Structure 1
Amino acid sequence: MGAATRSATAAAISALDDALHPGLLGRLHGGATADLGDELLAAARAIASSNQLTSLLADPTLDPKNRSQLIRRVFGDRLERRALQILESMAASRWSEPGDIVDAVEEVGFRALALLSDDPIDAQLFAVQRTVSATPEIELALGNGASPVEARVALVDRLLANASPATRSIVRHTVQLPGGRRPVEALERAERVVADARGRQVAIATVAKPLTQQQVDALEQRLGSGYGRKIVVNQVIDPALIGGVRIAIGDDVIDGSVRTRLDDLRLRIA
């Protein structure tokens, strides 16, 4: 991600915060609605579906005001006022690559859903991610761009019948986004964004057998102290590890598994 995109994304997140926590004048005219996240995700899909629109919104040679006006012309009668304001501010920003604006609108949509819902969205996204990655048929069906979008959305609704509306919105979006990532990759990104929006970071603990809740709590506390923020531990069971735990947090990997220690011992003996 280029410097311009990092700055523009941070500004978009700040604009979302302003929409969710308006001043007195904003509150008098109505706060952000629960549909804000859905509207932003729909806008991300609409922008991604048009290479011309994506290029124009990220074209640094166009006046920022003209790019904002383009947003009003395209979405003015389709979006709630606050969603429109966020998109206008994003169109006025500078982006490192044209496609970055789609990713940023998507991220802000995920964040809006996370902040406007009290449901355990990140945990549900992780569960969906594990189901999809463990079932090649489902991953193929969800990621098959040649199949009708309606069929993929219907599959999502069947899989997530008991999930929260926000979780369903996010997973639906990942299969609807034109030229989107593989389902598992899209779900991983969504989970990270949702967790970050709620002030925490996800750690994946791969273990030979499930940890007790007491062990999970202790691990989260220890990792949180080390990383300086709340850590949420998700477990992946892999009997091949024999014992111990392998922890992945972003790009960091802490490997304390018995399998790794045995492999190291074999290398030293050899």
Structure 2
Amino acid sequence: MAGVSSESLAAALAALEAKLPGASLQLAQELFGILGTVDSSAGLRRALTDPSRSGDEKSALVKQLFGGKVSADAVEIASGLASSRWASARDIGDALETLAATVVIAVAENKSAVSASGISGLEALENDLFTFSQAVDSNHEVQRALSEPQASPAAKIVLAEKLVPGASAEAKVLIGQAVSQPRGLKVTRLVRRFAELAAKRQQRWIATVGVTRPLTETQIGRLQTALNTLYGRELKINMSVDPELIGGIRVQVGDEVVDASVAARLGQLHRQLA
């Protein structure tokens, strides 16, 4: 996905963030359900991505089709996608899939939001997805069964869950989606894509810190407190000594970098370490 579709997806993900602290698996399943309806109708996909129709018209179509059938949040998310611009008819489906998976991943993340690092739920989800992929890749009979067009989605889900009997509810939702609605991809490829989304989200809460010399335990504690306050949650800190740094520290959390170009935040961190 590139160009205008990429921009529309980025905007949708940014808007979704406000809903993620209280997200539920039901919301994700509703979005996956909407995706199934969109995927099943080429005419609907064309209508929702037709550049000659206004965003309001396309949004109204989604509300007409799904209003009262799913939650208000699901309708809002889907209608927001419809009101955006898409380079191809498939892109809106890909975006729906990404948003639904992101909701599932956020539910796993929120499970551990009060723990020491805030990322163990995501790690557990990634491990379950990895375990499933390995189990499928190592068994040709399972691969054939999951790709058998005559087998029902329900039967494939039952088989998939037997491969990871201890999987979390979040992992089961993503694995179930992959085996029942792979959307033209190999099941393991889609599961790995979901795992990549989880890994990317996990990186948002890992602070990679570069320093010119090792910090004392007291300084590390002050840095931890400062970063937790700055980002509003407990971060995991990965520390490394970088002799090429001229001075001070460099902190990266996700895509955000705190360094000499962000004077206010850098000054705040220096005061905390003083």
Instruction: Please give the range of the TM-score, normalised by the shorter of the 2 chains.
Output: 0.5 to 0.7
1:8 partnered with 2:12? no
The amino acid across from 2:17 in the alignment is: D
Residues 60-106 of structure 1 show CA distances to partners (whole Å, capped at 9, x for unaligned) of 11111111111112211221111111111111000111101111111
Secondary structure of the structure 2 residue equivalent to 1:99: helix
Matching residue of 1:104:
95
Q: Please tell me whether residue 192 in structure 1 is matched to residue 183 in structure 2.
A: no
Matches of 2:204 and 2:175, distance apart in 1: 21
Q: Report what 2:20 is aligned to.
A: 20
Of 158, 162, 165, 1:158 maps to: 162
Q: Kindly tell me: are residues 134 and 112 of structure 1, through their superposed partners in 2, closer, same or farther at Cα, counting changes over 3 Å?
A: same
Displacement, 1:229?
Answer: 5.7
Q: Distance in 1 between matches of 2:168 and 2:23?
A: 19
CA distance in 2, matches of 1:90, 1:132: 33
Whether contact under 8 Å (2:25, 2:107) holds in the other structure is yes
Match of 1:59 among 37, 50, 53: 50
Percentage identity across paired residues of the two chains: 25
* Partner in structure 2 of residue 137 of structure 1: 141
The equivalent of 2:37 in structure 1 is 46
Give the total of aligned pairs.
Answer: 202
Please say which of residues 152-161 and 77-86 is displaced more in the overlay: 152-161
In the alignment, which residue of structure 1 is the partner of 2:114? none
Give the conservation status (yes or no) of the 8 Å contact 2:128–2:164.
no
1:217-256 to 2 correspondences below 5 Å: none
CA distance 1:150–1:51, change in 2 (3 Å): same
1:207 is aligned to: none
The one-letter amino acid paired with 2:160 is V
> Shift of residue 109 of structure 1?
0.7
Asked if the contact 1:115/1:198 (under 8 Å) is kept, the reply is no
Consecutive unaligned residues of structure 2, counting only runs of 5 or more, are 112-120, 206-236, 243-250, 255-274
2:64 maps to 1:73: yes
CA contact (8 A) 1:174 1:180 kept: no
Three-state SS of the structure 1 residue aligned to 2:87 is: coil
**TM-fit CA distance, 1:2:** 2.2
TM, length-normalised to structure 2: 0.67
CA contact (8 A) 1:114 1:166 kept: yes
In structure 2, what is the equivalent of residue 113 of structure 1? 104
Q: Distance in 2 between matches of 1:136 and 1:168?
A: 21
CA RMSD, aligned part only? 2.6
Task: Report the CA distance between 1:169 and its aligned residue.
Answer: 0.5
- Give yes or no for contact 1:32–1:82 (8 Å, CA) kept in 2: no
- Counterpart of 1:181, as a letter, is L
Is the Cα contact below 8 Å between 2:8 and 2:81 reproduced in 1? Answer: yes
Q: Secondary structure at the match of 1:116?
A: helix
Cα separation, 2, equivalents of 1:82 and 1:54:
21
Counterpart CA distance in 1 for 2:49 and 2:164 is 35
**Partner SS for 1:181:** coil
Q: What SS does structure 1 have at the residue aligned with 2:89?
A: coil
Amino acid at match of 2:89: P
Cα distance between partner residues in 2 of 1:197 and 1:49: 30
Distance 1:191 1:32, change over 3 A: closer
Q: Supply the distance in 1 between the matched residues of 2:157 and 2:46 (Cα, whole angstroms).
A: 28
Q: Matched residue of 2:174: which SS?
A: helix
